[in-house]
Amino acid sequence: MARLLLCSRKRTLRVLKTLLPILEWLPKYRVKEWLLSDLISGVSTGLVATLQGMAYALLAAVPVGYGLYSAFFPILTYFIFGTSRHISVGPFPVVSLMVGSVVLQMAPDEHFISNETTFNATIIDTAARDQERVLLASTLTLLVGIIQLIFGGLQIGFIVRYLADPLIGGFTTAAAFQVLVSQLKIVLNVPTKNYNGILSIIYTLIEIFQNIGSTNIADCIAGLLTIITCMIVKELNDRFKHKIPIPIPVEVIVTVIATAISYGANLEKNYNAGIVKSIPRGFLPPVLPRVHVFTEMLTASFSIAVVAYAIAVSVGKVYAIKYDYAIDGNQEFVAFGISNIFSGFFSCFVATTALSRTAVQESTGGKTQIAGILSALIVLISIVALGKLLEPLQKSVLAGVVIANLKGMFMQVCDVPRLWRQNKIDAVIWVFTCLASIILGLDLGLLAGLMFALLTVVLRVQFPAWSSVGSLPHTDIYKSTKMYKNTEETEGVKILRFSSPIFYGNIDGLKKSVKNTVGFDAVRVYNKRLKALKKIQKLIKKGQLRATKNGIISDAGTSNSAFEPDEDIEDPEEFDIPTKEIEVQVDWNSDLPVKVNVPKVPIHSLVLDCGAVSFVDIVGVRSLKMIVKEFQRIDVNVYFSSLPDHVIQKLEQCGFFDDNIRKDIFFLTAHDAVLYLRNQVKSREVQDSILETVIIGIKVGSYKGAGKDPPLEEK
C-alpha cells in the first residue's frame, strides 16, 4: 500500500516536472559553480535585449518603449515552463515584422487623421494611433499564445517538420528583404504610405525612392554609420572569436555614443531628426486585449504562431545538442503559449528567440535560464530607470542595428546554387518560397511555400521511376536493361520494375511504362486479333480457308479478297455481325492468311516487380486488375514479384482476385518468377506447341467486363 502510494506520488512528480520543467533543474542548480557566469551572461544579454527590444519595436509598428516590455515579460513565464536552458526569449525581427504588418493593416495612418487641420497638411493623431496599435499588437500576441497553447495541448509539435530547410531558407531570406525595406524607410526618415497585401513591399520600395529627396541627412548619416560600424565589428568578432573572451557588444556601444551625440548636438531641434522621444517610465497596468478582433487576425496569427515556435525550437535544439539535454517540442509550445498569453496582457508583442541574442547569452557563459531572468532584470532597470536617458536616441540608429544583423539571413542566398546542384526540387522550393513571401507577404508566402513543398512530394511520387530489368549474367540480381550492359532477359518474359506507390495520380505513368516495357499495346493487339478472326471466319464460310487441327490452311491465291489497307478503318459495325462459334486455332506469331496488321506478341509473361510500391489506392487496384485482364485476353500472363505484404492485403480488400486472377500470380522475388516461368516453358514445350485455341465470335459486349473507369453517372 505504502509502496503503491509512493509509486503514484512518483508518477505525479514526474508529470509535474514535465509540465513545470523548472522543478527539474532549479533544485539541482549549482550556485557556486554557475551563478557567477550566469550573472555575467545575464548582464550582457540584458543590454543587448534592451537594445534589440527597442529596435524590433520599430518593426512591430509600436512605439519603441513597448519593445522593452516585450523583452521583459515573456522571460518570466518561460523561466518556469521552458525546457531550453540557453535561449534568450524575446522579440525576433521576422516575427516582429509579421506582427507589424497585421497592425499596420488594421490601424493604418489614414484612420487617425486629426479633425483639426492646420494649413494644408493633414495631421495624424499619433497618440491615438499608437495606443490603438499597441492594443492590436498585444491582442495578436494573446491570440498567438492561445494557438500555441492549443497546439501544445494537442501534442502537434511535429508540424514543424513540414517547415523543411529549403522552405525556411527561402522564407527567412524573404523576411530579411522585407525587414530591410521597412528599416530603410526609417534610416532615411522618409514618409511613405502603408501598403498592404500583394506586392506591398515593391510599392513601398518605389515610394521610398520617389520621396528620396526628403531624406533627413542627420538620420541617414547616423543610420549608415551604425550599419557600417556594426558590420565591421561583427565581422571582427566572428574572425577573432577564439581570441577574445566575449564578443564586443558593438550595438550597445554604438547606441550609447549615438545617444550622447544626439543629446549633445540636439539633433531633433537642429536637424529635425527622428528620435525615440518618449519611453514610458515604469509599467502600465495590464490591459484586456480586444478579443472581438480575433477573427480578423486569425490567418496571420496561425503563421506567426508556427514561425515563432519554429524559430525558438530550432535555435534551442542547437544548444540542446551542444550541451546534451532534451528539448520537449510539445512543452515548448506550451511554454511559449503561456508566455505570449501572459505578455499579451502587458502590451507586449509576440516573443520567440533571436539567434544573435541567444549566442550572446551562451557565449558569455549562460548555463541556465537564471541568466535569462537576470537579463530580464537588466531590461527592468532600463524600463524603470534608464529609459528616459535613451530618449534622444535617433530611430535611424536602431534601424541601422537591425539592418546590420540581417547579413546572415541574406547570406543564405549562397545556398541556392549548392541546393540546385544537389537536388533541383529543393532549390525550386527555396526560390518559390522566397519569391512568394516577398510578393504575397510573409504569412501568405509561407503558406504558399508550404503548399508548394507538399505538391512537390506528390509530383515526385507521381512521375515514377520505372525500368525494364534483366538479370546480370549468372546471378539472381535484376537491373535496368538500359543502365547496365549485358543484362540477360529470359525469352518470352519481360520484367518491369515500378518504383513508386500506385495511386490515382500515376496510373497513366504505370500504363505507359507497361506499354513501353512490353513494346506493344495489349488492347490494340486484342482488337486487331478480333478483327482478323472475323475475316478468317468469313473466309472459312466462303470456303476459302479451312480450319484444321494444325491451324488454318489457306487455299492459294484467295487472300486478296481479305485485303485491307494499311490504314485501319476501325468501324464498330463490323463487330455486330452475330457469328456462329467456330473453333479455330491461330498461331498469332505466324503469317496470317488475312492481311490484318496484327502486332506480334513476342512474350508469354510479364512480371511486375513491385518491391518499391509502398501503397495502392482503389484506382490503383482497379488499374492493375485491368492490366492483368487485358494481357490475359491476348494470352500473356501477368505476375507480380516482391509486393509488400500490406499491399497484397489491400489488393484483396479491394476485390482484386476473381476466377481468372488467383493468388498464384505472386512471387517473392523477380528471380523466383523467372525460374518458375522457365520451368513452365520447358514442360509446356514437351506437351504442346504454342498454338492457342481461340473461340471465334466473342461478342464485343464482353469488353464491358474489362472494368475500365466507370463513367460519371448521371441517369
642 binds its own copies (CB under 8 A): yes
Parallel, antiparallel, or unpaired for β 478-480 and 637-641? unpaired
Q: What's the min distance (Å) between Cβ of 425 and its own copies?
A: 7
With CA atoms as reference, report the closest residue to 517 among 470, 485, 477.
470
Rg, the chain, Cα only = 38
Stretch that binds its own copies, among 191-199, 407-415, 437-445, 596-604 (CB under 8 A): 407-415
Q: Which of 22, 26, 34, 648 binds its own copies (CB under 8 A)?
A: 34
Residue 469's SS3 state is: strand
Contact 378, 49 (CB under 8 A): yes
Q: How far from each other are the two terminal CA atoms of the chain, in whole angstroms?
A: 72
Q: Which of 126, 314, 632, 680 binds its own copies (CB under 8 A)?
A: 314
700 binds its own copies (CB under 8 A): yes
| CB closer to its own copies out of 208 and 673 | 673
| CB closer to its own copies out of 61 and 427 | 427
With CA atoms as reference, report the closest residue to 375 among 32, 29, 37, 47.
47
Under rule CB under 8 A, which residues in 147-166 are in contact with its own copies?
158, 161-162, 164-166
245 binds its own copies (CB under 8 A): no
Q: What's the min distance (Å) between Cβ of 570 and its own copies?
A: 5
Return d(Cα 625, Cα 630) in angstroms, integer: 9
Return d(Cα 353, Cα 320) in angstroms, integer: 15
| CB closer to its own copies out of 201 and 402 | 402
Q: What's the min distance (Å) between Cβ of 658 and its own copies?
A: 15
| Phi (first) and psi of residue 587, to 5 degrees | -95, 105
Under rule CB under 8 A, which residues in 195-234 are in contact with its own copies?
234
| CB closer to its own copies out of 209 and 410 | 410
Contact 57, 96 (CB under 8 A): yes
Under rule CB under 8 A, which residues in 525-564 are in contact with its own copies?
527
Return d(Cα 585, Cα 551) in angstroms, integer: 5
Q: Which of 205, 208, 308, 310 binds its own copies (CB under 8 A)?
A: 310
653 binds its own copies (CB under 8 A): yes
Under rule CB under 8 A, which residues in 473-532 are in contact with its own copies?
477, 479-480, 483, 499-501, 503-505, 507-508, 527
Return d(Cα 321, Cα 318) in angstroms, integer: 5
Contact 272, 121 (CB under 8 A): no
Using alpha carbons, list the distances in angstroms from residue 38 to 30, 102, 241, 451. Answer: 11, 37, 20, 43
Q: What's the min distance (Å) between Cβ of 711 and its own copies?
A: 4
Under rule CB under 8 A, which residues in 352-381 are in contact with its own copies?
354-356, 359, 367
| CB closer to its own copies out of 217 and 232 | 232
Q: What's the min distance (Å) between Cβ of 92 and its own copies?
A: 7
Instruction: Show the site string, 75-114: x = touches its own copies by CB under 8 A, - = not.
Output: ----------x------xx---------------------
Contact 611, 581 (CB under 8 A): no
566 binds its own copies (CB under 8 A): no
With CA atoms as reference, report the closest residue to 273 among 236, 348, 222.
222
| CB closer to its own copies out of 263 and 484 | 484
| CB closer to its own copies out of 317 and 595 | 317
Query: Burial, 45: exposed, middle or buried (Cβ in 10 Å; 0-12, 13-18, 19+)?
Result: buried
Q: Which of 116, 645, 659, 688 binds its own copies (CB under 8 A)?
A: 645
| CB closer to its own copies out of 98 and 545 | 98
| CB closer to its own copies out of 194 and 480 | 480
644 binds its own copies (CB under 8 A): yes
| CB closer to its own copies out of 134 and 628 | 628
714 binds its own copies (CB under 8 A): yes
Q: Which of 214, 266, 423, 679 binds its own copies (CB under 8 A)?
A: 423
Stretch that binds its own copies, among 130-138, 552-560, 568-576, 681-689 (CB under 8 A): 568-576
Q: Which of 47, 51, 453, 562 binds its own copies (CB under 8 A)?
A: 453
Return d(Cα 16, Cα 24) in angstroms, integer: 9
Parallel, antiparallel, or unpaired for β 605-609 and 637-641? parallel
| CB closer to its own copies out of 276 and 431 | 431
Q: Which of 464, 468, 596, 605 binds its own copies (CB under 8 A)?
A: 464
Q: Which of 221, 225, 380, 619 binds its own copies (CB under 8 A)?
A: 619
Q: What's the min distance (Å) between Cβ of 246 and its own copies?
A: 15
Stretch that binds its own copies, among 42-50, 110-118, 314-322, 373-381 (CB under 8 A): 314-322
Residue 546's SS3 state is: strand
Cell reading at 32: 557556486
710 binds its own copies (CB under 8 A): yes
Cell reading at 697: 465470335
457 binds its own copies (CB under 8 A): yes
Q: Which of 219, 426, 443, 630 binds its own copies (CB under 8 A)?
A: 426
| Phi (first) and psi of residue 318, to 5 degrees | -55, -45
Beta bridge partners of 471: 478, 488
Return d(Cα 702, Cα 624) in angstroms, integer: 19
| CB closer to its own copies out of 408 and 602 | 408
Q: How many residues bind its own copies (CB under 8 A)?
A: 104
706 binds its own copies (CB under 8 A): yes
Q: What's the min distance (Å) between Cβ of 350 and its own copies?
A: 15
| Phi (first) and psi of residue 499, to 5 degrees | -110, 65
Contact 130, 339 (CB under 8 A): no
Contact 54, 276 (CB under 8 A): yes
Stretch that binds its own copies, among 190-198, 260-268, 537-545, 572-580 (CB under 8 A): 572-580
Match 478582433 to its residue by C-alpha cell: 293
Query: Burial, 445: exposed, middle or buried (Cβ in 10 Å; 0-12, 13-18, 19+)?
Result: buried
Residue 123's SS3 state is: coil
Cell reading at 50: 534592451
Alpha carbons within 13 A on the beta-carbon side of 597: 9
Q: Which of 611, 632, 675, 697 binds its own copies (CB under 8 A)?
A: 611
Q: Which of 615, 676, 680, 691 binds its own copies (CB under 8 A)?
A: 615
Return d(Cα 404, Cα 52) in angstroms, integer: 12
Amino acid identity at 650: K
Beta bridge partners of 609: 497, 641
Q: What's the min distance (Å) between Cβ of 91 and its own copies?
A: 12
Contact 29, 356 (CB under 8 A): no
Q: What's the min distance (Å) between Cβ of 714 and its own copies?
A: 4
Which H/E stretch holds residue 325? none
663 binds its own copies (CB under 8 A): no
458 binds its own copies (CB under 8 A): yes
